[in-house]
């Protein structure tokens, strides 16, 4: 079997085991067994548990980012682009719950350098959404577009975590994307059109 096929099987197994047991409790024995490989071969190809985990993070965060980017047609209008990005995000996280658990939960638990790979991916997501918002509204100030992008990415992450934690209680990836799109886009359009919610004026409780 070619090495790249073997390595892919090992990474598939490792993502499952890291998601199921957590990084600390995950054993190389279980990963090797699930991959149908010998433990020495896993060490030969991927060197250590730490490097294996890093490889999982890189692959899973790269795949998520690639799925979102591939879904976005640069020539489409901004609302279609955002919709495509949200659908791709929720579809990918729903289809790869172990990968999403590793990227969103396990990576954070174990500090640098693991958090760095995921932070870079997240930063790219935020940048993608911020450009999209800025394209929609040239009038939109840079800081506001960045803030909205951070809010939207946080909202999507939180929804994806909830959807994967309680799959029965939750709408499909399509419904989650539609709900978020509705609130974000309709709110954004109104905001840009000047129809904003006005904070109450000064007063003891304002």
Q: What is the Cα–Cα distance from 75 to 86, expressed in whole angstroms?
A: 17
Is residue 189 exposed (0-12), middle (13-18) or buried (19+ Cβ within 10 Å)?
A: middle
CA angle 39, 45, 50 (to 5 degrees): 80
- Residue 143 binding a copy of itself, by CB under 8 A: yes
Report long-range pairs for 116-120 (Cβ below 8 Å, ≥24 apart).
117/54, 117/57, 117/58, 117/61, 118/57, 118/61, 120/61
What mask, x for binding a copy of itself by CB under 8 A, covers residues 29 to 68? Answer: ----------------------------------------
The helix/strand/coil state of 80 is helix
Per-residue DSSP letter, 22: -
Q: Return the residue of 22, 28, 63, 69 that touches a copy of itself, per CB under 8 A.
A: 22
Smallest distance from a copy of itself to CB 7, Å: 28
- Residue 9 binding a copy of itself, by CB under 8 A: no
* Contact stretch for a copy of itself (CB under 8 A) within 30-38, 39-47, 60-68, 190-198: 190-198
- Residue 124 binding a copy of itself, by CB under 8 A: no
Q: Return the residue of 83, 93, 103, 173 that touches a copy of itself, per CB under 8 A.
A: 83
What is the chain's percent helix, strand, coil content, to nearest 5?
Answer: 75, 0, 25
- Spatial CB neighbours of 177, under 8 Å, sequence gap ≥ 6: 83, 86, 87, 89, 90, 91
Please, which residue, 34 or 170, has the CB nearer to a copy of itself?
170
- Residue 162 binding a copy of itself, by CB under 8 A: yes
* Contact stretch for a copy of itself (CB under 8 A) within 4-12, 34-42, 56-64, 161-169: 161-169
Residues 149, 133: contact at Cβ < 8 Å? yes
- Residue 146 binding a copy of itself, by CB under 8 A: yes
- Residue 20 binding a copy of itself, by CB under 8 A: no
Cβ neighbours of 87 (radius 10 Å): 18
Please, which residue, 6 or 161, has the CB nearer to a copy of itself?
161
List residues binding a copy of itself (CB under 8 A). 22, 24, 73, 79-80, 83-84, 105, 108-111, 143-144, 146-148, 150-159, 161-162, 169-171, 174-176, 178-191, 195-197, 199-200, 205
């Amino acid at each position: 079997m070619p090495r790249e096929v073997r390595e892919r099987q090992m990474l598939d197994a490792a993502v499952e085991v890291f998601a199921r047991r957590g990084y600390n409790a995950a054993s190389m024995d279980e990963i090797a067994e699930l991959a149908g490989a010998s433990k020495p071969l896993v060490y030969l190809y991927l060197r250590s548990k730490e490097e294996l985990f890093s490889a999982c993070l890189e692959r899973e965060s790269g795949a998520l980012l690639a799925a979102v980017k591939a879904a976005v047609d640069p020539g489409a209008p901004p609302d279609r682009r955002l919709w495509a990005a949200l659908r791709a995000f929720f579809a990918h996280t729903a289809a790869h719950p172990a990968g999403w658990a590793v990227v969103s939960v396990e990576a954070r638990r174990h500090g640098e350098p693991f958090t760095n790979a995921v932070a870079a991916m997240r930063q790219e997501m935020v940048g993608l959404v911020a450009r999209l918002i800025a394209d929609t509204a040239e009038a939109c100030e840079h800081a506001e577009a960045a803030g909205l992008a951070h809010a939207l990415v946080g909202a999507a992450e939180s929804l994806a975590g909830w959807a994967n934690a309680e799959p029965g209680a939750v709408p499909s990836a399509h419904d989650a994307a539609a709900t978020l799109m509705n609130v974000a886009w309709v709110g954004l359009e109104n905001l840009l059109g000047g129809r904003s919610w006005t904070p109450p004026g000064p007063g003891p409780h304002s």
